[in-house]
A and B are shown apart, each in its own frame.
Chain A
Amino acid sequence: MLLMNILKNDKPGLWLLGILLVVSIAVPILNLLVPENSAFHISTYTVTLLGKYLTYALLAVAADLVWGYLGILTLGHAAFFALGGYAMGMYLMRQIGERGVYGDPVLPDFMVFLSWQELPWFWQGFDQFWFAALMIILIPGILAYVFGYLAFRSRVTGVYLSIITQAMTYALMLAFFRNEMGFGGNNGLTDFKDILGFDLRADSTRIALFLASAAALAIGYVLSRIIVSSRLGLASVAIRDAESRSRFIGYRVENIKLWVFVFSAILAGIAGALYVPQVGIINPGEFSPLNSIELVIWVAIGGRGTLYGAIIGALLVNYSKTYFTAALPEIWLYALGALFILVTLYLPKGIVGLWSLRKTRKTQKMREEKT
């Protein structure tokens, strides 16, 4: 009931969910049932690519939640994404078992290579999927809780907060690059074989992962929408627009920020966990500050503070990235750079903003005609 009410007020969101539903019905059919030589056939490569975009879209929703509705320009959200990815990667590593290059039943290849004798304590339990799934939620969540608790309690805001989030992901990147950390160092985790007993290279598994990503995006979007429509969401918008005033009125600014931040980090972690089996690798490069900043630009291009704008932005930028890096690799960085500049200068509300701008102009015209 409540859900229906909320979604009724979110027409673009409904459209988006509708499209998502159509796509997730159409893609498996086009991939599995339509013969390969048909013009309508979608290759497994494309399915995986789409699945990857969907996880990016979920990440963008998470980032929009904290940037658009809390006013925290996070430059470290890719860290939560990567942590979720590493948790999933550890599960997948443990699933390889004796099929690794060195054939050790317990130790992943890179540990054998570093001549480690036994599994480090933090790798225990990752052979169980339920445990890995729990960690995918807990690890980004706990990191976000600790980081947010410290930062919000001492009222670090604005630019300072952005920069220390960046420092966080940078520090994590450096840490994960070290072999001694026990996460595969430079190479990260890769060479996965199967997930939950299904072969990762099989078309059906790919489709299942794609559908899981679509479902996660839909659920993540709806949950985020519920949050921003709730009192918590309204309070966080108040904090975004006037933090001190909200505090003086009596809201517990720190707590509100903290919970939204933690929720967002968990969403990012889940996105990362779905991303890893589809691309087949996770390495410390995912922590790089550049990734987090790119993420922010997806949100900015789509339209900040709308949630659906973030999805549109993520899909659009990533599609053009795939296209340009293949077709015109020289141009891509110019294009991305120009996007950053033009969007911030001329499209402060993103692509979604263009649409609402037209709408307001229309209503203005109608009003003028009436008078």
Chain B
Amino acid sequence: MPLSATTVSVKKTFPPLLFFFVSFFISFFMLMSMAQQTVASEIPAESSLEDAWKTLSQKNYNKKSGAIEVIAQQNPPEARPAMKAMLEGQLYYAKRGKALYFLKEVNDNYEFTPLFDTDPALKPVLQENRRGFKKVKVNNRLRRMIRQLLAVMQLKHEDADIRLAAVQELLKNPETEAADLVKNAIGKETDQRVITSMQTLLAVIQLENGDETAQLAAINTLANSLNSSAMNALTAYQAPTKALENKAQSAINKINDKRDLYAKAETIFFGLSLGSVLALSAIGLAITFGVMGVINMAHGELMMIGAYTTYVVQLLMPDNIAMSILVAIPAAFIVSGLVGIAIERGVIRHLYGRPLETLLATFGVSLVLQQTVRSIFSPLNRSVETPEWMSGAWQINEVLALTWNRLYIIFFCLAVFMALIAVMKKTSLGLQVRAVSQNRTMARAMGVRSKWVDALTFGLGSGIAGLAGVALSLLTNVGPNLGQAYIIDSFMVVVFGGVGNLWGTLVAGMSLGVINKLLEPWAGAVLAKILVLIFIILFIQKRPKGLFPQRGRAAED
């Protein structure tokens, strides 16, 4: 269904996931920073790395803790995976030989892979139970220590992104102890983003513990940061002097202004991506409805066919999801286009000049298509896998992240639109389409094969519906009712933009998307959609021919 909860809904799987990670890391780093001091002092100098690994299979927790410190300090490549496995209770040792293994449960079986795969004597073991192996047990104290050590190792990691994440997590719960750690690291740091976050972290700590000059400097640093802990620190800040208090207050205001700005930018971005979906689904309709005067109620089902084509293409090339979308684009265009031509040849050509009758007949077509899909693919929803290059987000700064799939959809919509405009303005087909739509008889007199043009125009419109289907398949589930959810919205966009005007359709789609998203925060998704529908109904009263009406002098069409 749909602008809606049935919404032209864009999957929002990202935030809960983010929340999960955030909460995970918060606990992680809180514990780490608490015991930072104790870690450094207790390392027994004489133990070697090999002994340390062996000590892990002992029962004594104190000895184990010493061993873990040694391993962390020397930091061999196995250290991180081993420590992680220990936290998750998946590091085991063989009762015979005391070699260390990772445990992985595979289909009710237990698979033990040796930690040191260089040793030829050790082989992966697959068995039904855990006989012969024993878990490397850790208690809460060890667990805490391992978490701290892992975090420290992360700050020294080669990958700048991981270092950045580590600092970000420290920022979520800044502790004085972290200051020394960061101060050491900041000198060696090369990545600008990491340096900035580290500076923010230091400023937050200084704001709490530094003298007045340090506090002033900290306020100045924090005023330029968008990090939420910077904000928290400033809000909680007890200023010793009036001047500092004013300074802090103006810093808070500055941050708030910036955040509002970015929040607005994000809303508009969401609106534009929703608008792109609307515009994409409406552009095809704008051609069949606007240029040909045919009300194609099966338009939604042509989108559905495009979406199912994407699904089938993925089934055919399961090893190459990344490429499958690129293959699906032309495939969906061709499949939907051919179905469209079949509809035109079979049904619509008998009904030209009777727009209301085309509405009924194509509605019949839409029912048949839906049932066909239901018979072939079952009524259950299918889902199309999002390729890797489309997942994730473009992190512009700490409060503004644009998800790639939405960005790509905006680009895709614009590209389709530009291609269509080019076809209509630059090719002889476009010229003929425009001629037939303006004056059929005259065009035929000039030698335009109007029937052929009709079929191709309808095919073009349907093909674009198929392209919209590809985009939709990445956003929602693919099911037999996919089209129905979008058909009303698509008509609204075309009518709002002005029939027969492609630019109008684009503008209408984008503006309806943005209006919808602007209303959503205070009205809720469903109510926002209702308001948009009412707005369009009222708008049509005011301007019965849409935003950009076709000019003419006739009393009526």
On whether the two chains bind one another, the answer is yes
Binding site for B on A (CB under 8 A): 73, 147, 150-151, 153-160, 162-164, 166-168, 170-171, 174-175, 177-178, 243-244, 289-290, 293, 296-297, 300, 330, 333-334, 336-341, 343-345, 348
CB distance from A292 to the nearest CB of B (A): 11
Contact B371 A330 (CB under 8 A): yes
Chain A residues whose C-beta falls within 8 Å of the C-beta of B495 in the assembled complex: 160, 163-164
CB distance from A169 to the nearest CB of B (A): 10
Contact B368 A333 (CB under 8 A): yes
Is residue B26 contacting chain A, with contact meaning CB distance below 8 A? no
Known: A174-B530, A334-B368. A159 touches B355 (CB 8 A): yes
Chain B residues whose C-beta falls within 8 Å of the C-beta of A174 in the assembled complex: 4, 6, 526, 529-530, 533
Chain A residues whose C-beta falls within 8 Å of the C-beta of B368 in the assembled complex: 333-334, 337-338, 341
Is residue B93 contacting chain A, with contact meaning CB distance below 8 A? no
Chain B residues whose C-beta falls within 8 Å of the C-beta of A157 in the assembled complex: 544, 556
Known: A154-B542, A178-B526, A336-B364. A164 touches B537 (CB 8 A): yes
Chain B residues whose C-beta falls within 8 Å of the C-beta of A150 in the assembled complex: 537-538, 541
What are 12 inter-chain pairs, A to B, with CB distance below 8 A? Answer: A73-B356, A154-B542, A156-B544, A158-B355, A158-B356, A159-B499, A160-B544, A163-B492, A164-B495, A166-B488, A167-B488, A289-B488
Contact B347 A337 (CB under 8 A): no
Contact of B555 among A170, A171, A244 (CB under 8 A): A244
Is residue B351 contacting chain A, with contact meaning CB distance below 8 A? yes
Contact A341 B364 (CB under 8 A): yes
Is residue B237 contacting chain A, with contact meaning CB distance below 8 A? no
Return the CB mask of B354-388 against A: 1 if under 8 Å, else 0: 01110111011111101100110000000000000
Write the chain A residue with the least CB distance to B368: A337
Contact B357 A167 (CB under 8 A): no
Chain A residues whose C-beta falls within 8 Å of the C-beta of B355 in the assembled complex: 158-159
Chain B residues whose C-beta falls within 8 Å of the C-beta of A334 in the assembled complex: 367-368, 371
| Bound Cα distance A195, B536 (Å) | 40
Known: A160-B544, A340-B364. A168 touches B530 (CB 8 A): no
Contact A159 B375 (CB under 8 A): no
Write the chain B residue with the least CB distance to A177: B526
Closest 9 CB pairs of A and B: A340-B364, A337-B367, A337-B368, A333-B371, A171-B533, A341-B364, A344-B361, A337-B364, A154-B541
Chain A residues whose C-beta falls within 8 Å of the C-beta of B370 in the assembled complex: 333
Contact A168 B537 (CB under 8 A): yes
- For B, the interface residue count at a CB cutoff of 8 angstroms equals 46
Contact of A337 among B289, B371, B538, B542 (CB under 8 A): B371
Contact of B360 among A330, A333, A344 (CB under 8 A): A344
Contact B533 A170 (CB under 8 A): yes
Contact A163 B491 (CB under 8 A): yes
Q: Which of B457-481 contact A (CB under 8 A)?
A: none
Write the chain A residue with the least CB distance to B554: A244
Chain B residues whose C-beta falls within 8 Å of the C-beta of A289 in the assembled complex: 488
Chain A residues whose C-beta falls within 8 Å of the C-beta of B540 in the assembled complex: 151, 154, 156, 160, 164
Known: A156-B541, A178-B527. A341 touches B533 (CB 8 A): no
CB distance from A161 to the nearest CB of B (A): 9
| Bound Cα distance A337, B484 (Å) | 15
CB distance from B464 to the nearest CB of A (A): 20
| Bound Cα distance A290, B529 (Å) | 19
Contact B526 A164 (CB under 8 A): no
Contact B363 A293 (CB under 8 A): yes
Contact A344 B351 (CB under 8 A): yes
Chain A residues whose C-beta falls within 8 Å of the C-beta of B363 in the assembled complex: 293, 297, 340
Contact A345 B350 (CB under 8 A): yes
CB distance from A160 to the nearest CB of B (A): 6
| Bound Cα distance A178, B525 (Å) | 11
Contact A345 B347 (CB under 8 A): yes
Write the chain B residue with the least CB distance to A293: B363
Chain A residues whose C-beta falls within 8 Å of the C-beta of B351 in the assembled complex: 344-345
Chain A residues whose C-beta falls within 8 Å of the C-beta of B527 in the assembled complex: 175, 178
Write the chain B residue with the least CB distance to A151: B541
Q: Which of B510-557 contact A (CB under 8 A)?
A: 526-527, 529-530, 533-534, 536-538, 540-542, 544, 555-557
Is residue B295 contacting chain A, with contact meaning CB distance below 8 A? yes
Write the chain A residue with the least CB distance to B375: A330
A167-B536, A333-B374 are known contacts; what are 20 more A-B pairs with Cβ within 8 Å?
A: A150-B538, A150-B541, A154-B540, A156-B540, A157-B544, A159-B289, A159-B355, A164-B537, A167-B492, A168-B533, A170-B533, A293-B363, A334-B367, A336-B367, A337-B367, A340-B367, A341-B364, A343-B360, A344-B361, A345-B351
Contact A339 B544 (CB under 8 A): no
Contact B530 A159 (CB under 8 A): no
Q: Name, among A147, A157, A296, A333, the residue most crowded by chain B CB atoms within 10 Å (CB to CB).
A: A333
| Bound Cα distance A158, B356 (Å) | 8
Contact of A73 among B6, B359, B371, B533 (CB under 8 A): B359
Chain B residues whose C-beta falls within 8 Å of the C-beta of A330 in the assembled complex: 371, 375
Q: Name, among A156, A174, A177, A243, the residue most crowded by chain B CB atoms within 10 Å (CB to CB).
A: A174
CB distance from B263 to the nearest CB of A (A): 26
Q: Name, among B4, B350, B364, the residue most crowded by chain A CB atoms within 10 Å (CB to CB).
A: B364
Chain B residues whose C-beta falls within 8 Å of the C-beta of A300 in the assembled complex: 360
CB distance from A249 to the nearest CB of B (A): 13
Write the chain B residue with the least CB distance to A342: B364
